[in-house]
Amino acid sequence: MALNTSQDFSLTRTAMKAELLDADTELKLAYAWRDERDEASLHRLITAYMRLAISMASKFKRYGAPMNDLIQEAGLGLMKAADKFDPDRGVRFSTYAVWWIKASIQDHVMRNWSMVRTGSTSSQKSLFFNMRRVQARLEREAAAQGETLDRHQLRQLISTEIGVPLHDVEMMEGRLSGSDYSLNATQSAEDEGREWIDALEDNSAQAAERVEDSHDTAQLREWLLLALGALNDREQFIVRERKLRDTPRTLESLGQELSLSKERVRQLEAAAFTKMRKSLEMQSQEVFHFLT
């Protein structure tokens, strides 16, 4: 559940008043949580660095996400960092936590930017958060030199600058160029304007086609039942086990059950299919050609 505005301000004030941990205290708290699962130490560690999480969350306000949601995601990243932090590595917790906080916020922003997934690879994430800044800088530099970059040149420069494939730049440019639109929105301002969804082609089968397919399926089923009824009990059993099961049985397993060799079962199967083909040919020349 997202925090409301009053909770947001309260949390921010609390974070600003939290203690500043020195390196030794931070290390003791980290060891207490890792080795003893001391929740009081975990709470103290997270509370002390919540101001860091809030500060990082504020840098992502320009992406349109509510500030309280960003703070919540930053807090989740901070908790993940605390849970995975190894004090034996000799680095400050704040240095380690920055990566987890940033990753949590970025994932939230990208998940909520559009109903269409914006991107999941490292190159796509780098583009999402850096493309506009890099593009603006490249355009300023070109303008300072009296040059004008066309769209293709600009995309190539962005691709080189960020180190991502050109097609990723083209894809992300389209993602960032506009927001989502509802298919139920009208195409004009008129009250009776047609919705955009009405303009989509319906690729599903029409009523006449469905009736025809249903009739053909019923007719084919009737023919197959008649052909199957022309077989003796042993032949029907082999056909059902070999062709009508979700997982067809092997010739060897049927031979063991019927006390026959695998080759004999194969011969009986072939003979049964020959009988069925003759029966189907008598019923309908069309279905006979279809099955052969």
Predicted confidence band at 175 (pLDDT cuts at 50, 70, 90)?
low
More confident residue, 7 or 59: 59
Residue 198 resides in a domain: no
Are residues 31 and 106 both part of a single domain?
Answer: yes
On whether the CB atoms of residues 176 and 131 are closer than 8 A, the answer is yes
Residue 244 resides in a domain: yes
Are residues 136 and 225 both part of a single domain?
Answer: no
Q: Over range 75-86, report the average pLDDT.
A: 93
Are residues 9 and 109 both part of a single domain?
Answer: yes
Residue 24 resides in a domain: yes
Are residues 39 and 58 both part of a single domain?
Answer: yes
Distance CA 12, CA 54 (A): 7
Q: Could you write out the DSSP letters of every residue in 68-79?
A: HHHHHHHHHHHH
Q: Is the pLDDT of residue 141 over 60?
A: yes
Q: Phi/psi of residue 20, each to 5°?
A: -100, 120
On whether the CB atoms of residues 282 and 275 are closer than 8 A, the answer is no
Residue 201 resides in a domain: no
The reported pLDDT for the residue numbered 267 is 92
pLDDT over 70, % of the chain: 75
| Ramachandran bin of 66, using left for φ above 0, alpha for ψ from -120 to 50, beta for the remaining angles | beta
166-180, 207-221, 252-266: the lowest-pLDDT one: 166-180
Are residues 170 and 239 both part of a single domain?
Answer: no
Please state, rounded to an integer, the average pLDDT across all residues of the chain. 79
Q: Is the pLDDT of residue 91 over 50?
A: yes
Are residues 162 and 236 both part of a single domain?
Answer: no
Q: Over range 174-185, report the average pLDDT.
A: 57
More confident residue, 181 or 250: 250
Q: Residue 168 has which token pair?
A: 């990723």
CATH of the domain at 218: 1.10.10.10
The reported pLDDT for the residue numbered 113 is 66
CATH of the domain at 104: 1.20.120.1810
Residue 266 resides in a domain: yes
Q: Is the pLDDT of residue 6 over 60?
A: no
Are residues 254 and 164 both part of a single domain?
Answer: no
Residue 197 resides in a domain: no
Cα torsion 30, 34, 36, 37: sign? positive
Q: How far apart are the first and last CA of the chain?
A: 62
Q: Phi/psi of residue 260, each to 5°?
A: -125, 160
What is the count of structural domains for the chain?
A: 3
Residue 40 resides in a domain: yes
Distance CA 21, CA 24 (A): 8
More confident residue, 200 or 79: 79
Whether this prediction's pTM lies above 0.85 is answered by: no
Are residues 162 and 255 both part of a single domain?
Answer: no
Are residues 218 and 281 both part of a single domain?
Answer: yes
Are residues 108 and 20 both part of a single domain?
Answer: yes
Q: Is the pLDDT of residue 149 over 70?
A: yes
The reported pLDDT for the residue numbered 180 is 47
Predicted confidence band at 24 (pLDDT cuts at 50, 70, 90)?
very high
Q: Over range 72-79, report the average pLDDT.
A: 93
Q: Over range 190-206, report the average pLDDT.
A: 60
Are residues 239 and 278 both part of a single domain?
Answer: yes
Are residues 13 and 106 both part of a single domain?
Answer: yes
Lookup result for tokens 């009988």? 275
Which domain range does residue 36 map to? 5-113
Residue 183 resides in a domain: no
On whether the CB atoms of residues 50 and 26 are closer than 8 A, the answer is no
Q: Over range 75-98, report the average pLDDT.
A: 92
